[in-house]
Amino acid sequence: MGSINYTITSGTLPITVELMDGATVVDTNVHSEYGSYSFTEITFSIYDVYFEDAQGCNETITNVTGCDNCPDGYDITIDGCLFNDVIPSVETEVTYDLIARSFYVYSEFGTLLFSDYNIDGTGNYTRINTSYWKNLSNTYIGGPLNRSGVWTSIYHNFQNISFSYCIDVALEKTYYIGVGSDNYSFIKLNGTTLILQDRDALADMLGSPHTESGFQIMHKFWWIYPITIPAGSNILEIGGHNIFLIAAVGVQIYDNTYNDILVAASDNDLNIIFNTKDLVGLTANYEYSPSNGYHGYECPEGYILDCANPPNCVQRTFIPCGTTTSSSSTTSTTTTTTTNL
């Protein structure tokens, strides 16, 4: 047996929640307060979760399912068994503050909006040269990298900094992540590298005259990639690498469609759920250079910083549905969320 958790964040109270197995109502809960609740002691099948508020507004989250026979301690997600091993991070005595970074050539070549990508950052893209997505006048404020660029107050050659963003989704969903770096960016999901930009491969993809620009194309373009986030709790790690001298990295996460981004003319046209510029004045959680070591919080190999304060180190183990396991869990859960009533 297991449970399905859900969170009510909006709608006119009271709100009725029904667990549906096809046309059959398996269980019903009525709530007079916002908060997190559960259907407990359920058998595992494919369910719909139906929400209706006092005004008759309703929403259904479909195909909520889970695996049985998960190992003890694992959570049951929509498509597998999930275990997050959480251990304390190691903090160094010296940490670096984050400061704003900008330059007149940042984003001067415009924005590349990708529909798919390879691990080196190449893929199929549409180039956007509108005034919002390009630094048309070569100013220190124009373009997306100047609107988001940061770095640590002390910079070194061959230095990495990165940021964790934690996100829970009821069902698998695609977000778009915009990055620009002086000198290249990387994106990880739950500790697995999705994109590690290769400037030579990207220059070859773009062709002449960009093949002659070397590492400069990495900060002269803004790169937007679609990242599919699986159901459940996830950690995105996004960062930048400096080769030498001054450095900057900008990151924005868009909860928007491809077309929303394509036609956006201002921040007001987008749902920007993360922007590195909002971190200015805070302490960098993670920074590393080979000459000066770590500053901030350090994790063992295979672990990733979460978003707690102070951050923990998390290693995510996922077992797909249908995989044979040695023991089964009786306390695992599937999570659903409603926010649009």
Write the DSSP symbol of residue 208: T
- How far apart CA 227 and CA 116 sit, in angstroms, is 9
**Can you give the pTM of this predicted structure?**
0.77
Q: Write down all domains in the chain, each with its CATH number in brackets.
A: 2-79+321-338 (2.60.40), 98-317 (no CATH)
Rg of the chain (C-alpha set): 22
Identity of residue 156: H
pLDDT digits (tens, 9 = 90+) for 79-114: 678 888 999 999 998 899 999 999 999 999 999 999
Give the residue with greater pLDDT, 25 vs 63. 25
Q: Beta strands of 243-340 (E only): which ranges?
A: 248-254, 272-275, 286-289, 293-298, 304-305, 312-320, 333-338
pLDDT of 330 over the 90 cut: no
Token pair for 164 = 């964790």
pLDDT digits (tens, 9 = 90+) for 299-329: 998 899 999 999 999 998 888 765 544 433 3
- How far apart CA 207 and CA 200 sit, in angstroms, is 10
- Over 300-317, what HEC string results? CCCCEECCCCCCEEEEEE
Q: How far apart are the first and last CA of the chain?
A: 30
Token pair for 74 = 């694992």
